[in-house]
Chain A
Amino acid sequence: MKMGRLENRVAIVTGAGQGIGRAIALGMAREGASIFIADINAANAATVKQEITAQGGRAGALCSDISEEQSVRAMVDVALKEFQRIDILVNNAGMFPTSPVEEMQEEEWDRVIGTNLVGTFLCSKAVVPHLLAQRSGRIISLTSGRAFQGAKNGAHYAASKAGIIGFSKSLALELAPHGITVNVLCPGITDTSQPRGHQTEEQIYSQGQRIPLGRIGQPEDLVGPTIFLASDAARFITGQTILANGGGIMW
């Protein structure tokens, strides 16, 4: 078999129970990485674990809530126990409920910021000591085109995703002297359950017409860029945002 680009690496992928995270987990496993699936949906996490082992990969799974510090600590402990090391963290878990600011409940605001942004911080914080000890590692976090363009009825989401970029640039500066890179990956609208929370099928697919490459994204479109950022080939890339969005936004 051909050597994978992520052979002997261990990756935690949050929100890997479905959608983009699942595709990334399966794709990185194909490149030889051991995958730890952390998702608040335990049944989905277990299914993806099985999918990876069925294709001959190594995987672990845990029901985790990235917005809870205790749960994130447990996620890292269990991953370490199972695989002895952590090389890559993909901060993918996220949520996108909608309400106009005027009616937005503080609770909903806190939940979105707490998951998307604070969750990214908590997971990063929990793995950083291990990456520092190894003097190597990769953190890749998912933002959204909404970070650049805003989201009508999704001000919390847009704010959280822009926050991830500012956070990642700062963390990149902190970790660069230690050979650890921190980058951001930006999908455009992608064919998962997320946009279905607030758009009809027609609204979703019709957006493909306005995207230069002529279609909306598929979860698989994010796999190549994630593997690249996680691999040795991207050793000198840090603090950047890579867009895999069919040219929907050019940055």
Chain B
Amino acid sequence: MEKKVAVVNGGAGGIGRAVVRRLGEAGYALFILDKNEQAGGETLEELRQQGYQADYHVVELTNAAEIKTLFAAIQREAGRIDLLVNLAGGTLHKHPVQEFPLAEWIEVLNVNLKATFLCCQAVCKLMRERKAGVIINTSSNFGITGGAGRTAYAASKAAVIAFTKSLALEMAPHGVRVNAIAPGLTATARVMGGYDKAEWQRRARQIPMGRAAHPSDIAEGVAFLASDDAGYTTGQTLHVNGGMIFN
């Protein structure tokens, strides 16, 4: 392929859609991986209407074999992967730790952390051989502050940061940059649905900039990390949260 190729998992989600839109605008050919087929189809249609080159694949990211097969297929088809954005994830389960079922705790870790590891692993060799590439993983404000009821989510998102630093060290000699983005409270349907309206507004007002992030705010951060403007930045976490927490 002539165009730069970006693979975005969770690309059909609330933040994901804004990210693929922004990357389409930046000229990437897009491969969207997501388990939500309906949202995936809608996202794809929107991108194609905009005239962007895009493809969608349904995938269950907790399935290592599926990931392997899919990335191999993308690599065969596109011949290159310039950018991997690991966005899929979420809190999934919230319980006090004494009541947190092990299976659910592990599920949170599998989606947020292990899928990130597996997708990175799937592109590493190609990027190393081409001596070029950018990887962006997704952390969260909760990865820094922790959150009551969110022991699994916070652990997984803190782990993403340390994983990112370690992979950055491994890949730097090969010209591949690895960074993380840490959104704060972001106005996606999923997250807004977790609060009643008054509570949502109260939380948004508590943020120093007086509002929750719009998914496009996060997309701009991803586009920056992907670009040559961030050419000397690796192993770092970019916090886009309106001043909610500081790195």
Contacts and interface: CB of A to CB of B under 8 A. Distances in A.
9 A-B pairs with least C-beta separation? A224-B229, A212-B172, A176-B208, A250-B235, A236-B217, A221-B232, A233-B220, A247-B234, A238-B243
Nearest to B228: A224
Interface string A216-251: 010001011101100001111111111111110011
Contacts of B214: 236
Given A239-B246, A242-B238, A233 B173 contact: no
Interface string B206-247: 001110011001001101100111111111111111110011
A243 B231 CA distance: 11
Interface of A: 169, 172-173, 176-177, 179, 212-214, 217, 221, 223-225, 227-228, 233-247, 250-251
30 contacts: A172-B208, A172-B246, A173-B243, A176-B209, A177-B210, A212-B168, A213-B172, A213-B232, A217-B232, A221-B231, A224-B230, A225-B230, A228-B230, A234-B221, A234-B224, A236-B209, A236-B242, A237-B238, A237-B241, A238-B208, A238-B209, A239-B208, A239-B243, A240-B246, A246-B172, A247-B168, A247-B235, A247-B236, A250-B168, A251-B247
Nearest to A249: B235
Contacts, number: 106
A235 B224 CA distance: 13
Contacts of A213: 172, 177, 232, 234
Contact of A244 (B172, B233, B241): B233
B4 interface: no
Nearest to B162: A250
Given A239-B246, A240-B239, A228 B224 contact: yes
Nearest to B182: A240
Nearest to A168: B246
B165 interface: yes
A24 B177 CA distance: 23
Contacts of A233: 220-221, 223-224
Given A176-B243, A225-B230, A247-B234, A212 B208 contact: no
B229 A243 contact: no
Contacts of A214: 172-173
Contacts of A223: 229
Contact of B240 (A172, A236, A247, A250): A236
Interface residues of B, number: 35
A22 to B, nearest CB: 17
Contacts of A238: 208-209, 242-243
Contact of A235 (B217, B229, B239, B247): B217
A243 to B, nearest CB: 5
Nearest to B246: A239
B204 to A, nearest CB: 12
B22 to A, nearest CB: 9
B67 to A, nearest CB: 26
A43 B95 CA distance: 65
B169 interface: yes
Contacts of A242: 233, 236, 238
A227 B231 CA distance: 13
Given A225-B229, A236-B214, A247 B169 contact: yes
Given A176-B243, A238-B209, A247-B169, 18 more contacts: A172-B208, A172-B243, A177-B210, A213-B172, A213-B232, A213-B234, A224-B230, A233-B220, A233-B223, A235-B217, A241-B246, A242-B233, A243-B233, A244-B230, A244-B233, A250-B168, A250-B235, A250-B236
Contacts of B208: 172-173, 176-177, 238-239
Nearest to B172: A212
Contacts of A245: 232-233
A240 B247 contact: yes
Contacts of B229: 223-225, 227-228
Contacts of A221: 231-232
Which one of A179, A224, A236, A251 has the highest number of Cβ atoms from chain B below 10 Å of its Cβ?
A: A236
A250 B241 CA distance: 19
Contacts of B210: 176-177
A236 B183 CA distance: 10
